[in-house]
Amino acid sequence: MSSRPLELASYQFFPQGDRDKILLEEDADGVWFDFQQADPTDKLYIQLFDQGFQYPPSKLYRADASFGQAESVTLTCELEAETSCDVQMFKMQYGQKKRMHSETEWLTVNGKTTCSLQLKRVKGADYFKIAFKFLLEGDRRVRLTALHVNRLVPIKQEESYHVI
């Protein structure tokens, strides 16, 4: 298994949807997502890595977003919110030019909440992205305080030898 934390920096996160209602702010403990005058009908997405949802990350992020030799990737993160909010999480996989697969999961963030997402690699996928869709109202702040990626690489089977 290959494991490493992703450096938490606001440049890795891209607002999508109603961008004018989302601000990003970094501090020593993580990245704050500030939602302003949110409405339940707003599309408030924060995406890990860049480009639109239909396209793989740009070359700038491909090392972090690559499956490499892994057959699955587990992304663990910690979100923190003062008041409860629901988050729809999109797990997306990409070939070299377009999205190949997408799944969703739901999470309720209430105080400090740990989230673990597993992406089982589909045939031909080279990269992954995660997007968070926040369902909330009014002015709200959510903080991401940890982000870690584990890649499960299969062990090559070796032939067995018998000594006689």
Indicate whether 162 belongs to any domain.
no
For the entire predicted model, the pTM comes to: 0.84
Of the candidates 6, 58, 46, 47, which has an alpha carbon nearest to the alpha carbon of residue 22? 46
Residues 6+ apart with CB under 8 A from 81: 109, 110, 111, 113, 140, 141, 142, 143
Q: Do the domain assignments include residue 126?
A: yes
User: Could you report the average pLDDT of every consecutive run of 10 residues in the chain (164 residues)?
Assistant: 53 81 88 92 92 93 91 93 94 96 96 95 96 94 89 65 50
Please say whether the dihedral angle defined by the alpha carbons of residues 24, 26, 32 and 34, taken in this order, is positive or negative: negative
Classify residue 159: in a domain, yes or no.
Answer: no
Identify the pLDDT of residue 79. 95
Tell me what pLDDT residue 142 has. Answer: 95
Output the domain CATH number for residue 90. 2.60.120.260
Supply the pLDDT for residue 149: 86
Number of domains in the chain: 1
* Owning domain of residue 120: 2-152
Burial of 18 (0-12, 13-18, 19+ CB in 10 A): middle
